Amino acid sequence: MRHPKGPSRYILAMLAELAVLRPLRYRLELDGEQVDTKAVLVALGNAQSFGGGMKVTPDAILDDGLFDVLIVEPLSRINFLRIFPRVFKGEHVGHPKVRIRRAKRVRIACDDPIVAYGDGERIAPLPLDVDLVPGVLRVLAPPA
């Protein structure tokens, strides 16, 4: 989406996706542990927030060397809409259908043809293998 600009773009995109929302069977591998689950959303976070300030993985720590893996188990569109506003404060993680696991190495596979996105850009179709390599990215910042 090119318009609108800012956080409202993400809200409109979510509403568009909500129209086709359905649970899918995912096969996750988290540091070698197999996790088979049905979910309406699986997301990896290395930082607390995603586009538009949504605190999707609110407890993620940028330099701990671990992904926070968000899994939203099947729920109705109405319940999804009830939970969604809470994501801006990171309060959705208290919902019983929302789980977060941590892992350094993640494999995501799905029976359906799903394309993975990263930072709003298409990455590749699943399955996808992702390793978090701490200390690779150098960041210049003013002293605290």
Q: Where residue 19 sits, what CATH number does that domain have?
A: 2.60.200.40
Work out whether strand 121-125 and strand 33-39 pair parallel, antiparallel, or are unpaired. unpaired
Tokens of residue 126, six digits: 């699943």
Q: Is 119 a domain residue?
A: no
Cβ distance 92 to 49 under 8 Å? no
Helix, strand, coil percentages for the chain (3-state, nearest 5): 20, 35, 45
Give pLDDT tens digits for 91-116.
Answer: 899 999 999 999 999 999 999 999 99
Mean pLDDT of 71-77: 92
Domain-located, residue 59 = yes
Domain count, the chain: 1
Give, for 131, the enclosing helix (H) or strand (E): strand 128-131
pLDDT (tens digit, 9 = 90+) per residue, 42-73?
999 988 777 667 888 999 988 889 999 999 99
Q: Is residue 70 part of a domain?
A: yes
Residue 2 inside a domain? The answer is no
Q: Using a pLDDT cut of 70, give the percent of the chain over it.
A: 90
